[in-house]
A and B are shown apart, each in its own frame.
Chain A
Amino acid sequence: MMPTMTPPIIELQGVTFTYPGNITALDTFSSAIARGRRTAVLGRNGSGKTTLFSLLNGLQRPEKGVVLFDGEPIRYDRQGLLKLRQVVGMVFQDPDSQLFSACIYEDISFGPLNLGLPEAEVRSRVENALKQMKLEGLENRPTHSLSFGQKKRACIAGVLAMQPQLLVLDEPFAGLDPIMAAEFMTILDELHRGGTSLVIATHDLDLAYAWADDVIILQDGRLLAQGAALELLLQPLVHTELGAAPIVAEVSRALALTGTGVYDNGYLPRTGAGLVRALLNQSKQENDR
């Protein structure tokens, strides 16, 4: 379960980043993101999540320290950045800051064309991305008439068409209604099964607990903790810093105090539904006895 067992896809070593006006966003920050896994980055507002993300995609350059992709330090010349941005796809929180054209077909073709691919290849990638994001039929509608969720999917399609190995999403669930969020989750899971490594920033601890393999927790630009989601998100230290706990973890802990051990048989419920199922099973067993 430990992320160190698989080689990291991207690694930050002692990275410091300061914004103009001496605002330190990241302070000697070191962390690694494991290949093929789902990582959630947690932290309060202003803890450095967005800065961390822009470093992963080469949008910002560390002042001190290095960012390594596949063990190699990132080169910040035109070729190096182009290579990095192909393998690390970045999805911004606000779709309007990413979609530049009123036609999503044109928008999706942008990334692959920047990679210098031939037209036929670009067109087939655009069509695949439209299909993958369930946007078929919408490519003829203007961007400004699309819903928030559709625009969000268009943004991801634009990044997927570049076929990245790592997809970085800033607050992908913010502003989505529960149904759209569930659909979106399915899409992310499909990508994960397809071998894409995923990193998301979120404030939703329940979501992180239910979805992520690993978590990275930031505190004032420093790494507070990093490790397996199921272990780390149960720690009181984390709850204090983030101001909340995953509800499943809280309920389980409360139940454990009353003597009802949900975890006894080694089963760890990750969602509310899972917990309810575990409790029902247990009471059935007790009744049978």
Chain B
Amino acid sequence: MRIDTYAYSNRWRQVHPGEKGLFTLFCLAAALLSKTPLVPLIIAAAIAVMTVMGAGIPWREYLRLVVLPVLFLLWSCLPLAVSFSGGELPVANIPALHLSISLSRQGMGQAELALARSLGAFLSLLFLALTTPMTEIMGLLRSLGTPRLLIELMTIAYRQIFIFLEITRQIRAAQEARLGYASTRLAMKSLAGLAGNILLRSLSRARQNHQGLLARGYGSELLFLSPRHTWSLRNLIGAATVGVTLIALALAIQP
């Protein structure tokens, strides 16, 4: 939800989503194509600086958003470095199980590369998510020819998430006001009631929404136009130059 708020209020909100999308795509490609950890790390650093200094996302909030996925990345890259079949750097030896744990140079290299690539890719996508509202990303996907059904589903799902959260909040508040969560047993019971109620409310809401669409002449397609944005030649050239350079670097630098 915090991401959503920033997407609507950051300094680069009015920049054409296509420009931001193009830039993200270039960075993503460069980070994933790179054969050394260097280029993805440069991308990660550069895009973090852009997100904080450029788009004006407060750095504390940015760190808070980044820290969890990065920890997750670290943990998942660790097994790549660890070897059970004789790496160069022994870590532990358990004779009872005939098991020797060690780090292999090759594995460490792989782990570093995977970590750097994922970090670069993750921060690139986060940049897009933090600077571009969901509806504009969907508009972008639409103009790139994403299947209609997918866009329709995304549009409705995105709007409904917030209605769903609001309904949940209301029911939960009503339960809490009557001590519905006073004990673990009561909490379980209230939670079940909450889930059941949400289902019923969602069904009736779906019916109402359908009526709402029909009343405005809904046929079989959810037709709508996105607001226009103006392209900035300067941004486009900038994004393309930086992007192409990064991809070239990624391809050129060999391990």
Contacts and interface: CB of A to CB of B under 8 A. Distances in A.
A63 interface: no
A126 B8 CA distance: 21
Given A97-B205, A98-B212, A141-B8, A78 B226 contact: no
A101 B212 CA distance: 12
A158 B205 CA distance: 19
A111 interface: yes
Given A105-B226, A107-B224, A114-B218, A100 B162 contact: no
B199 to A, nearest CB: 17
Nearest to A94: B208
Contacts of B4: 142
B214 interface: yes
B217 A126 contact: no
B135 A103 contact: yes
B213 A100 contact: yes
A34 interface: no
Given A97-B208, A97-B211, A100-B156, A106 B224 contact: yes
Contacts, number: 110
A50 B159 CA distance: 25
Contact of B155 (A90, A101, A109): A101
Contacts of A78: 219
Nearest to B163: A96
B217 A101 contact: no
A197 interface: no
B215 A145 contact: no
Given A97-B209, A100-B212, A105 B217 contact: no
B158 interface: yes
B225 interface: yes
Interface residues of A, number: 42
Contacts of A107: 224
Nearest to A90: B215
Interface string B144-174: 0000000000011011001100100000000
A114 B217 contact: yes
A258 B91 CA distance: 104
B223 to A, nearest CB: 4
Contacts of A144: 159, 162-163, 166
Interface in A57-100: 57, 59, 78, 81-82, 85-86, 90, 92, 94, 96-100
A123 to B, nearest CB: 7
Interface string A140-171: 11111100000000000011001000000000
A85 B212 contact: no
Nearest to A86: B217
A142 B40 CA distance: 33
Contact of A143 (B159, B209, B223): B159
B159 A102 contact: yes
Interface string A161-194: 0100000000000000000000000000000000
A7 B215 CA distance: 25
B211 A54 contact: yes
A171 B99 CA distance: 75
Contacts of B223: 109-110, 113-114
A57 B224 contact: no
Contacts of A85: 214-217
Contact of B135 (A97, A102, A111, A159): A102
Contacts of B212: 92, 97-98, 100
B13 interface: yes
A139 interface: yes
A100 B225 contact: no
Contacts of B135: 101-103, 106, 142
Interface of B: 4, 8, 13, 133-135, 155-156, 158-159, 162-163, 166, 205, 208-209, 211-219, 222-228
14 contacts: A86-B217, A97-B211, A100-B213, A103-B135, A105-B225, A106-B224, A110-B216, A110-B218, A110-B222, A110-B223, A114-B218, A115-B217, A123-B228, A162-B217
Q: Which 8 A-B pairs have the closest CB atoms?
A: A114-B217, A97-B208, A144-B162, A113-B223, A109-B225, A111-B216, A103-B135, A98-B212
Interface of A: 54, 57, 59, 78, 81-82, 85-86, 90, 92, 94, 96-103, 105-107, 109-111, 113-115, 119, 122-123, 126, 139-145, 158-159, 162
